[in-house]
A = this chain, B = another copy of it.
């Protein structure tokens, strides 16, 4: 049996190597590649993806998994978990013909171009036929799988293994009215001033400050680096080489600090992985939502907290004396937590962000189950914006066309962002029970105990437990928005005197 296990590990190790080689190529594409390199890079990535897929879906892999399944039945053992996760991936991958993967890639490339044009002209009708094709392809993808409770379950499962549409809907339905009510209350309260955040800050100094923060978080620059890229992201080449990117935007200079903390949160998850899981299906974080719970925790629950800035604000003021002179800690804290309903999801504050996601989830479900006509999307979008946030997008670019996701046929992804926020607050309550003086530690710039808690409870398990299972294991309950509501209510009651 151990011979078969070794053979399976050998093949899956190569599949992992190919995937991580592709990640290096992808990172280089964003960070370093001269413009001329794009065409060949696309081909190289396609080849790596094709070979990895061929290796992973080979008959031999299926036979090995079948044999090993009978032997390693306990999912609490690493071998059992590995075979369970490999089997699920294998079964999925075998259901989808490679010709379909190619068809979808071609459609995505065309739809992406149309989306770029449509967004620049703020005209949904340009994008509409391509979105219709993408949705048809997504339906075809769903048809490769056994009928689910809801067709959207098939999509969701690719990002949140084991999670059902009904569960997400229930969580969101519970949360939505509370967030809508909170925003209304905030709108009626005295508003927060944040104009000093939009001054001109020295880029290099902001960058250095961002690295000072994440070094304190425990990001190890011997096992990673931060580079400039058009969009912030985290990428993993191995448990000992986890890189992040960041950017500097003149109109929001301090956003760089929060992006660094966010990506560092992702990176700590990967850096905290079990080295023994390297090159197996258990490597890396278990789902996008759990990943996002880590990034949002470091960005928001830590990085936008008062104790955090009690520690860092004096040195920030020292770094930018002329900019922050006369701005008290309290007012700085309020400014970086200002709530203001706005059109663009990626710029949304903590109180409004999830509502952007819920809107998208409802539209995605409607597109997939056919209850919604794609031609009506702009209207539906704008109506929901009014209902949830009380504002109406002035045009499609600031409305239905703002996100890239649908252009490349990615449907099922969005809810993971909101789930990540929700999980971060659940974990935070549990952490604060386990680490009684966490606020004091943060106030002193000490993050080791928090980081090691996350590592021991979540990071080291990699893919071993599905998202709902790891949340239950750690907090005692499944994913549930109550903690997030408590967190938001307390925070904004203090800030806005509700």
Q: Is A125 an interface residue (CB 8 A)?
A: no
Evaluate whether A238 and B40 lie within 8 angstroms (CB atoms) in the complex, with A28-B28, A34-B221 already known: yes
List, sorted by A's number, 26 A–B pairs whose CB atoms are closer than 8 Å.
A13-B47, A14-B47, A17-B48, A18-B47, A20-B40, A21-B21, A21-B22, A21-B44, A21-B47, A24-B25, A24-B44, A32-B32, A34-B221, A34-B222, A34-B240, A34-B241, A35-B222, A36-B223, A36-B240, A37-B237, A39-B238, A40-B237, A40-B238, A41-B238, A43-B279, A44-B238
Q: Is A490 an interface residue (CB 8 A)?
A: no
B residues in contact with A47, CB < 8 Å? 13-14, 17-18, 21
B residues in contact with A237, CB < 8 Å? 37, 40-41, 44
- Does A41 lie within 8 Å of B279, measured CB to CB? no
| Chain B residue with Cβ nearest A47 | B17
- Does A21 lie within 8 Å of B25, measured CB to CB? yes
Q: Is A78 an interface residue (CB 8 A)?
A: no
B residues in contact with A222, CB < 8 Å? 34-36
- Does A48 lie within 8 Å of B35, measured CB to CB? no
B residues in contact with A40, CB < 8 Å? 20, 237-241, 278
Shortest Cβ distance from A138 into chain B, in angstroms?
A: 29
B residues in contact with A166, CB < 8 Å? none
Task: Please provide the 7 A-B residue pairs with the shortest distance between their CB atoms, ordered closest to farther.
Answer: A40-B238, A37-B241, A36-B240, A36-B223, A17-B47, A17-B44, A35-B222
Contact pattern, A 248-278, Cβ under 8 Å of B = 1, otherwise 0: 0000000000000000000000000000001
User: Taking each of A28, A224, A239, which has the highest tally of chain B beta carbons within 10 Å of its own beta carbon?
Assistant: A28
Q: Is A216 an interface residue (CB 8 A)?
A: no
Q: Is A225 an interface residue (CB 8 A)?
A: yes
B residues in contact with A18, CB < 8 Å? 47-48, 51
Kindly list 18 other residue pairs between chains A and B, CB separation below 8 angstroms, not including A24-B28, A36-B241: A13-B43, A17-B43, A18-B51, A20-B44, A21-B22, A21-B25, A21-B47, A24-B24, A32-B227, A33-B241, A34-B223, A34-B224, A34-B240, A34-B243, A35-B223, A37-B223, A39-B238, A39-B240
| Chain B residue with Cβ nearest A25 | B24
Q: Is A158 an interface residue (CB 8 A)?
A: no
Give Cα A452 to B57, complex, Å: 48
- Does B220 lie within 8 Å of A36, measured CB to CB? yes
| Chain B residue with Cβ nearest A279 | B43
B residues in contact with A238, CB < 8 Å? 36-37, 39-41, 44
| Chain B residue with Cβ nearest A27 | B28
Contact pattern, A 3-27, Cβ under 8 Å of B = 1, otherwise 0: 0000000000110011011101100
- Does B51 lie within 8 Å of A14, measured CB to CB? yes
Give Cα A50 to B18, complex, Å: 11
Shortest Cβ distance from A373 into chain B, in angstroms?
A: 42
- Does B223 lie within 8 Å of A32, measured CB to CB? no
Which residues of chain A (128-164) have a CB below 8 Å from chain B?
none
Give Cα A195 to B299, complex, Å: 55
| Chain B residue with Cβ nearest A52 | B51
Contact pattern, A 84-126, Cβ under 8 Å of B = 1, otherwise 0: 0000000000000000000000000000000000000000000
Give Cα A223 to B41, complex, Å: 12
B residues in contact with A50, CB < 8 Å? 14
| Contact partner, A37, options B36, B43, B240, Cβ 8 Å | B240
B residues in contact with A13, CB < 8 Å? 43, 47
B residues in contact with A220, CB < 8 Å? 36
Shortest Cβ distance from A60 into chain B, in angstroms?
A: 14
Give Cα A35 to B33, complex, Å: 22
